[in-house]
């Protein structure tokens, strides 16, 4: 039977932010949703989307890509455990697996796929608006299409088509195969930047609730706060940018071209700053093993408790 519920954040990653139950047979996290809801959930049931990796390719099963990801995650899971236990990136093989994982998450999330779909839809609206500007233009377009072999299932009156275009009453969908093709073609260039960055391991204090993660955990930001008001966003190849990525409650990393490789223990204020980046970057949800985590989303802000996140108006957006 082909599974229809696909994780866009694998369980082997989410385990690092969870607490085991039933002698380790299940793992649960505290979920904070921008809708205003908070709840405890098994990691099996979060960060999933129906048919996210399903493909329709002749000669291949619909879960071919999903099966390929499962093989990769089979290697990634033990690597993440070793990285968390050692609290370092000194193992080259594990480091390479981690960077491949970060690269895939940087280009492959529901939010990014929706952004790509939206661009296609906006383009289609512009084209259709021009094609239906007048009845004569539309009829000319239809004559040309029929001359090239197009056979409509039924004739649709011009007025109906124009009303649909003006009212934007149609939705453009992008096939999953096209999404996957774009993502895989984008992976190598991003991987090159990940290997060029210098990485600092960030460790929380011993009594800290540690780091959280979210459904969009690759946080790419400008190093200088004043740069964050630019009309353009940071790029993976740009200098003076930092990539923050949480690996587990006990460890996060930050990479930049100007850094030197190191490992540092943060105070709680800096842990809150890292968590604040995750909170800001979240698409819909934040995941935490411990509800006592701290976060701050603005410069010079005193750390807030995780319990206040669900009431934070900056987090709760429509």
| Residue 217 to residue 280: CA distance in whole angstroms | 10
| Mean pLDDT over the full length of the chain | 93
Q: At what angle do helices 158-166 and 110-131 cross, to 10 degrees?
A: 140
Are 137 and 131 spatial neighbours (Cβ–Cβ below 8 Å)? Answer: yes
Q: What is the number of H-type helices and E-type strands within the chain?
A: 8, 14
Average pLDDT of span 206-216: 95
- Among the ranges 109-113, 154-158, 274-278, which has the highest mean pLDDT value? 274-278
pLDDT, position 231: 56
Tens of pLDDT along 234-256?
899 999 999 999 999 999 999 99
pLDDT at 229 over 90: no
Q: 96: which residues sit within 8 A by CB, 6+ positions away?
A: none
Q: What percent of the chain has pLDDT over 90?
A: 83
Beta bridge partners of 38: 32
Average pLDDT of span 102-116: 93
Polymer length in residues for the chain: 318
Q: What are the backbone angles phi and psi of residue 120, rounded to the nearest 5°?
A: -60, -40
| Residue 126 to residue 133: CA distance in whole angstroms | 11
Q: How many CB atoms lie within 10 A of CB 124?
A: 14
Q: Is 294 helix (H, G, I), strand (E, B) or coil?
A: strand
Q: What percent of the chain has pLDDT over 70?
A: 98
pLDDT at 9 over 60: yes
pLDDT, position 152: 85
Tens of pLDDT along 46-100?
999 999 999 998 888 999 999 999 999 999 999 999 999 999 999 999 999 999 9
pLDDT, position 230: 63
pLDDT, position 318: 47
Are 49 and 8 spatial neighbours (Cβ–Cβ below 8 Å)? Answer: yes
| Residue 271 to residue 258: CA distance in whole angstroms | 21
pLDDT, position 298: 86
pLDDT at 194 over 70: yes
pLDDT at 116 over 90: yes
């Amino acid at each position: 039977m082909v599974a229809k519920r696909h994780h866009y954040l694998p369980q082997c990653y989410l385990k690092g932010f969870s607490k085991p139950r039933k002698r380790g047979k299940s793992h649960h996290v505290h979920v904070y949703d921008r809708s205003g809801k908070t709840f405890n959930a098994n990691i099996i049931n979060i960060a999933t989307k129906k048919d996210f990796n399903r493909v329709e390719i002749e000669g291949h099963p619909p879960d071919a890509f999903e099966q390929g990801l499962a093989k990769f995650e089979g290697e990634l899971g033990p690597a993440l455990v070793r990285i968390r236990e050692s609290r370092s990136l000194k193992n080259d093989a594990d480091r390479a697996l981690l960077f491949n994982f970060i690269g895939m998450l940087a280009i492959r999330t529901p939010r990014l796929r929706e952004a790509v779909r939206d661009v296609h839809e906006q383009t289609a609206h512009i084209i259709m608006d021009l094609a239906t500007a007048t009845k004569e233009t539309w009829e000319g377009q239809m004559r040309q299409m029929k001359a090239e072999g197009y056979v409509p299932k039924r004739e649709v009156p011009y007025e109906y088509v124009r009303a649909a275009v003006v009212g934007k009453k149609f939705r453009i969908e992008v096939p999953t195969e096209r999404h996957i093709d774009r993502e895989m073609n984008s992976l190598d260039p991003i991987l090159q930047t990940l290997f060029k960055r210098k990485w600092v391991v960030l460790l929380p204090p011993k009594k800290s609730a540690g780091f959280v993660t979210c459904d969009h955990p690759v946080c790419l930001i400008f190093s200088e706060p004043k740069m964050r008001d630019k009309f353009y966003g940071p790029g993976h190849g740009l200098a003076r940018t930092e990539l923050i990525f949480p690996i587990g409650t006990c460890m996060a990393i930050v990479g930049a071209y100007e850094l030197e490789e190191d490992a540092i223990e943060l105070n709680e204020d800096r842990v809150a700053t890292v968590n604040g980046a995750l909170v800001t970057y979240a698409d819909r949800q934040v995941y935490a093993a411990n509800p006592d985590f701290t976060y701050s989303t603005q410069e010079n802000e005193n750390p807030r408790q995780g319990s206040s996140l669900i009431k934070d108006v900056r987090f709760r957006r429509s």
